[in-house]
A and B are shown apart, each in its own frame.
Chain A
Amino acid sequence: MKTKVKVEKTETPEPVKESEARKAFRATWEAYKLQDPEKYAIKVANGEFESQLAQVK
């Protein structure tokens, strides 16, 4: 006997557009990565990127 499996459609949420301030923030960190890779790695490892990003709207 066949059982009908109800497949629910799940809507994939549209990606949230990032604000200009956040884009600029990421660009600055990328530039910093090229400028000082050693300190960049330390700062990222310390969670500083994430904590600063949380402050940027």
Chain B
Amino acid sequence: MFTTNTIATQQYRDKYRLAQLDHALRNALIAEKICMVDRGADKYIYSPYQTAPTTVVQTIIGTYAPANSTTLNETFTLTYEFIVAEQIKDFESSLSKFDVFAARTDDMTASIATKIDQYVLNAMVAGAGTTLDTPSGGFTTPANTAKIFGDICGKLMGYADTYKGIYCVVENTDVTGFIQFQGAAGFSYADAALNNGFMANVFGVEVYVARTGTFSTSTIGEAFTNSGHRLAGVKGVVTYAAPRGVQVEEKSVTGMTGKEVVVFGYAGAKVWTPKAALTIDITIK
């Protein structure tokens, strides 16, 4: 009997799922959605502010005691640069079916964006002017969800800026509590009475989910001690400066074929003193 079993591997048809090299999983970017973004190419942003005046209500008498008003300086200094540099050798690009160069720079850009996002979120927690402790178990305990969101709203509502909307940033490990809470709450409670959506909105608070480890005790330019913390606040009151976005430079270097690629960006975040109370540092208990 004759059997054919000598087909060379190069005979088989191949198909590539994507036109470009596939990427590693990327984190969602949150900072731009909750901050006031400044794209100006400025090293310093100044925001002088005044002490709040006090109105006196008195029985008509026609006299008064003038008070001093004080103007204070506040400066946001853009301090940090975020940078990734790699050498992409020519053969890696020339002999590949894919555009390695484009795929790699795209990945590097995403890496920078993710790190900037993590920095901004941690800087917001560090600069927050209001604190909030969750009940024991934090967000992962479904019964805590209503209380935590009630507390967040209670800390923020009543200020004129609150019309901009309230947000809360949690980590993906917290999601289990939310889903169980929303599932148990049922249609009339979750949708009709409270105008909720699936995860995206709880009691009118926009919920953003970052990956676990985003809020960390680590050095990201500066030292942060935010492990076990989460963030909430009013949208658009913290300044996130990212002049010129993320930039790419390619260089021919001696001793190697291909290009040295450096991807970099400048970024910073500032919680302004007069509005610091509108950002909440949540501590999970």
Interface residues of A, Cβ cutoff 8 Å to B: 24-25, 27-29, 31-32, 35-36, 39-40, 43, 46, 48-49, 51-52, 55
Contact = CB atoms under 8 A, between A and B. Distances in A.
B225 A29 contact: yes
A27 B227 CA distance: 15
Contacts of B223: 28-29, 31-32, 35
Contacts of A29: 217, 223, 225
Nearest to B285: A51
Nearest to A44: B225
A31 B219 contact: yes
Contacts, number: 36
B195 interface: no
The secondary structure that dominates the B interface is strand
B217 A25 contact: yes
B140 interface: no
B254 to A, nearest CB: 36
B283 interface: yes
B126 A51 contact: no
A32 B225 contact: yes
A35 B219 CA distance: 12
B40 interface: no
Interface of B: 126, 217-219, 222-225, 227-228, 283
Given A25-B217, A28-B218, A43 B225 contact: yes
A32 B224 contact: yes
Contact of B283 (A24, A27, A48): A48
A48 B218 contact: no
Contacts of B227: 52, 55
Contacts of A32: 223-225
A49 B227 CA distance: 10
23 contacts: A24-B218, A25-B217, A27-B219, A28-B219, A28-B223, A28-B224, A28-B225, A29-B217, A29-B223, A29-B225, A31-B219, A31-B222, A31-B223, A36-B126, A39-B126, A46-B283, A48-B228, A49-B225, A51-B228, A52-B217, A52-B225, A52-B228, A55-B227
